[in-house]
Chains A and B, each alone.
Chain A
Amino acid sequence: MSEKIITTEKLFKRYPVGDGEFTALNDINLTFDKGEFSGIIGPSGSGKTTLLNILGSLDSPTEGRATVLGHPISSLSHKEAAQLRNKHIGFIFQVYNLLPVYTVFENVEFALLLQNRSASERKKEVMQALEWVGLENMANKKPSKLSGGEGQRVAIARAMVKRPDLVLADEPTANLDAKNAHAILQTMKKLNEELNTTFIFATHDEKVMGYLNRLIHLEDGKVAKDEIVTAKTV
């Protein structure tokens, strides 16, 4: 039986706009199993990123319930939410969000520093993560010296180094050319298969969709379609 790691029930997110309010998420009821390689897809403004932020405990719903790895997001304190992200969730962003003054190694190491791991353990894990993404020879480079594809691969290594249960990737290929996009998608797919890490993407990129096993279509904040699809294999 598959293990459910995320559940949302009657999830709403509303923002005040002028005198009224804008509903970004409207009655979202979803479950995600461990090891899924799923995508929340839809046009800009459909609520993809908002849903991802709630699942990542960066934001909280206005109404309804979201449970991630057994933690009810709405009732987490800042500290508890930080711990959840630190231990169990990896983020990959559209613009990589690498820390510019750190080297590739230090960027990847950051997540482990927050976990107070020993220096030797950190070194071992960081090199392993860089090996997964094929950047073990670039450990001492600064992000400014990397290409877009390399930068995103560092971001993947940073998200994966702590071996999280869940990786949330927001438009990870939006700034990449087709070749690099396929390369990083293959890397993520491989890690998903090898480590059984759950990946949830927010995307409207056709290339990404080709790799996903499940597509959740969002339209105006509502789930329009939730389909299981046959994905490319690596």
Chain B
Amino acid sequence: MKLAFHLAYKNLMGAGLRTWLNAGVLSFAFVVIIFYNALIDGWNQQAKIDGINWQYGYGHLVNDNYDAYDAFSIKDGHGELPESKQKNLTPILIQQGNLYPNGRMMSILIKGIDPNQGILLLPTQLLNDSKAEIPVIIGKRMSESAKVKTGDEFLLRWRDKNGTYDAATVTVAGVFETNVPFVDSRQIWMSIDKLRKLTLLHNKTTYFVANEQYKYESAPGWRFEDQEYLMREQTRLINAKKVGGSIFYVLLMTLSLLAIFDTQVLSIFRRQKEIGTYIALGMTRWQVVRIFTAEGAMYSVFATVLGAIYGIPLMWYLSITGISFGADGGEMGVIISETLYPVYGMGLIFGTILLVILSATIVSFLPARKIARMNPVEALKGKIS
């Protein structure tokens, strides 16, 4: 095998530009595959971190009557949890309401949260700091869609537990910026005590956000949803993106492997006399098959080296600066930041290298098998068609 690689190396180096064209095409596919996957992984990682920091915490203890996907469950989707079971939990109460900013009406969610919580990155401390009667914090998306900013006041209308409408003026105590649209779009955050008072839902909670120390104990009427469960939609979306991406890179790989296959077929046809000479000099046919297979495999090694030469600096640069797609997850219903930072895992890099080497070896072996059936006399004459 050492001899096969030695000869393959010499043959490829001797072939000059043809070798580097093939290696170049393959290296492009190789770099794109790694980069695309790294971008998806980067998005995934970023989305998970943002999701945990802004929304999920270390899981939710949710009232059994509440279903995040069912708007009709909001009104009665709350309950009381004994104080003893609320350790390491931050309560959140959700109710529906209407805003009247600048004379318009917007249906929104009113979310009450403990202003002293430290689990989520929501700047709830602003609710404590504000001198306003009913201070609220909103996200940037909400601020833009309602056209309100810090210090603005607007009318909020809601129904209490008895169904009676009430209204009050609320003041924007702060606007926060987040990649997580689920804590931003069409919602306002206020102190949970204030919301409980406004709605007469004393001690009621829709769900609790757990911190790292929380240990789930069964509580009747409540269910625990862990991080994995809460992030399932995002994970599903990212997996779907990966599948979509894999179609794209299967196409890329097919094109570059086709180039190698084509080169090998042509090479075997064009180098018949050389093959005949190898056999006349004392090589077995399978030894010659090994040379040609090694040549194909070596394209992928060259592609790895070539890809590393331009790919490493490029990918390193992009991992620092990130890539801005100007995407707003709020519009798509996903957690995505404006700038994505690719994450290059060792598994991804070595897995891709292995995939490329294996595929290149296989597509080189397929046409090379023909050599094993070649008549050396015909090969020496160059008469095999």
Chain A residues with CB under 8 Å of chain B are 53, 56, 58-59, 78-79, 82-83, 85-87, 91, 93, 95, 97, 99-102, 106, 110-111, 113-115, 158
Contact = CB atoms under 8 A, between A and B. Distances in A.
Interface stretch (B51-59, B280-288, B315-323): B280-288
A58 B282 contact: no
B281 A111 contact: yes
A114 B11 contact: no
B380 A93 contact: yes
A56 B376 CA distance: 11
Contact of A97 (B3, B11, B276, B283): B276
B10 interface: yes
A58 B280 contact: yes
Contacts of A59: 375-377
A82 B288 CA distance: 12
B372 to A, nearest CB: 9
Given A101-B13, A101-B14, A114-B3, A85 B281 contact: yes
Contacts of B375: 59
Contacts of B1: none
Contact of A82 (B11, B276, B283, B380): B283
A83 B282 contact: yes
A113 B11 CA distance: 15
Nearest to B16: A101
Nearest to A79: B284
Contacts of B273: 95, 97
Contacts of A102: 10, 14
Interface string B354-385: 00000000000000000000011100100000
B274 A87 contact: no
A188 B375 CA distance: 29
Given A78-B285, A87-B282, A99-B274, A58 B11 contact: no
A58 B376 contact: yes
Contacts of A106: 10
A113 B3 contact: yes
A101 to B, nearest CB: 2
Contact of A99 (B6, B277, B282): B277
A156 B291 CA distance: 24
Contacts of B39: none
B279 interface: yes
Interface residues of B, number: 23
13 contacts: A59-B375, A78-B284, A78-B285, A82-B283, A85-B279, A85-B280, A97-B274, A101-B10, A110-B281, A111-B281, A113-B3, A113-B6, A158-B281
Contacts of B17: none
Residue of B282, B283, B375 ringed by the most chain A CB atoms within 10 A:
B282
Contact of A86 (B6, B14, B282, B380): B282
Interface of B: 3, 6, 10-11, 13-15, 273-274, 276-277, 279-285, 287, 375-377, 380
A59 B279 CA distance: 11
A85 B282 contact: yes
Contacts of A78: 284-285
B339 to A, nearest CB: 48
Nearest to B288: A82
Contacts of B10: 101-102, 106
B380 A97 contact: yes
B281 to A, nearest CB: 5
B273 to A, nearest CB: 6
The residue in A82, A97, A106 that gathers the most chain B C-beta atoms within 10 A of its C-beta is: A82
Nearest to A80: B284
Nearest to B375: A59
Nearest to B276: A97
Given A58-B380, A97-B273, A114-B3, A91 B14 contact: no
B15 A82 contact: no
Contacts of A97: 273-274, 276-277, 280, 380
Contacts of A91: 280-281
Contacts of A115: 282
Contacts of A82: 279, 282-284, 287
Contacts of B15: 101
A56 B280 contact: yes
Contacts of B11: 101
Contacts of B276: 97
A110 B11 CA distance: 13
Given A82-B284, A86-B281, A93-B277, 6 more contacts: A53-B377, A58-B280, A59-B375, A82-B279, A101-B13, A111-B282
A102 B10 CA distance: 7
Contacts of B279: 58, 82, 85
Contacts of B283: 82, 86, 114
A83 B281 CA distance: 9
A79 B283 CA distance: 8
Given A99-B274, A101-B15, A102-B14, A114 B285 contact: no
A113 B273 CA distance: 20
A85 B377 CA distance: 14
Nearest to A91: B280
A114 B291 CA distance: 13
A83 B279 CA distance: 10
B281 A58 contact: no
Contacts of B6: 113
Nearest to B273: A97
